[in-house]
Structure 1
């Protein structure tokens, strides 16, 4: 498969993403673990098998000596784009966004990795937090109920494609696990709060209302998922995430 730079749509430190006709091609850096590539492929297929209408995995291959995933391309605009150009309808878009997340969380895929185990590994790996703070976070995590709902792990409007017929498709299942829906909601809240506290609050209010979940319960997950996000070592997000971890001091 020959890729042209003109088809490049996303660049990250560990991957490049191309759009080629009816496919999205993720090409990973040679330094990216082979196991992580195959894990993403396997996770995508496991979500496919639940019946959720997601872009299907077509192929795992190598391009110029780099591992790559070829995934079905879905035409449309991202929900993030639509929210930006039509802010007057933000509440409707957000309501649809939450409905889609709840539909995903109704599904189960028993072979997916466990979310609590993943969060524990991420917290244990942190060097920016001292042993006492890591222990406090792990203790809180262990006390939280263990569920088995599908959790996208990076559920935000940039990962929701809206087709011309209005149908929404959720993409990028690299971080999917099975676990507690409120932990996934806490992650989405943080992703919104990085850009807009107003949108974050609107999202959380709608999620809690539609799922009949106490807001305080989602908020209990915030220091945990904020700490897990520190693993990405993104300097632009570090101060923001540390503030949410510090919320533990007065909860």
Structure 2
């Protein structure tokens, strides 16, 4: 199981991850038993204190930087995983899929550990520090793709701006948070804005893979606009 393997690897590398204890098989289901953690998610903290959201995103950027500093092993390849997902999206227009695959083929690969789904809801704010959850989509790859994925989730995700939303429209607010996050990663030695932008189309298309998301129409429209300009 990828999540168990990736979580064990991350824990062994000294990353802030709950220890994966065992795989449990019961009633036809496969579950993972993790050590018990106490605390809410980073997303909960952002909802309670919207003005501290930027501080939280800075912490998230540092977590991602620490993850990407590690070399992965025995995990699937980031590029190959993205390619298979894009090809499997039969409900996405062919022209958009072809443009995403062409963009993906031009990108550099890598050998760094990438969580694959890092966002505030997948971080527990435990008393002794944050812990990163949900390693199901972990891969070996290029950190730039990892940054692009997180920026996309912030841009189209469920960050609650709270009182800030009274002064800033939700769409503009989410775009500002994504911009700020990429800037935080850049200051930590991460990719520049142009490098992240080069991965935006594949990231948008892959966002449509799997279970339908509430923002599916918005994401597809953005992907179609971007594909039409390539």
Q: Name the TM tier (shorter chain).
A: 0.7 to 0.9
| Deviation of the 1:234 alpha carbon | 0.7
> Are 2:108 and 1:129 equivalent residues in the alignment?
no
Tell me how far 1:111 sits from its aligned partner: 1.2
Matching residue within 206, 216, 219 for 1:238: 216
User: Which is strand-richer, 1 or 2?
Assistant: 1
Structure 1 residues 212 and 44, CA, compared in 2 at 3 Å: closer, same or farther?
closer
Structure number with greater CO (CA < 8 Å, separation at least 6) is 2
Q: Secondary structure at the match of 1:129?
A: coil
- In structure 2, the residue matched to 1:161 is 124
Q: C-alpha distance in 2, partners of 1:44/1:82?
A: 24
Residue 201 of structure 1: which of 179, 182, 190 is its match?
179
Distance in 2 (alpha carbons) for counterparts of 1:172 and 1:55: 10
> Which residues of structure 1 form unaligned runs of 5+?
1-37
Unaligned residue ranges in structure 2 (runs of 5+): 159-173
In the alignment of these two chains, the number of paired residues is 213
Equivalent in the alignment of 1:7: none
2:74 corresponds, among 106, 111, 124, to: 111
Q: Choose 142-151 or 81-90, whichever is displaced more.
A: 81-90
Separation in structure 2 between the aligned mates of residue 136 and residue 157 of structure 1, nearest angstrom: 30
Counterpart in 2 of 1:61? Answer: 24
Provide TM-score, normalisation by structure 1: 0.78
Q: CA separation in 1, counterparts of 2:3 and 2:132?
A: 15
TM (norm. structure 2) is: 0.85
How far apart, CA to CA, are the structure 2 residues paired with 1:86 and 1:73?
Answer: 25
SS at match of 2:199: helix
Secondary structure of 2:13's aligned partner: coil
In the superposition, relative to structure 1, how do residues 212 and 63 fare at CA in structure 2: closer, same or farther (>3 Å)?
A: closer
Rg larger for:
1
SS in 2 for 1:223: helix
Deviations 1:134-164 (A, max 9, x none): 2222121111001111111110011111222
Encode CA deviations 1:93-142: one digit per residue, 9 max, x unaligned. Answer: 22111111101110112211100000000011111234443222212111
Q: Which residue of 1 aligns with 2:228?
A: 249
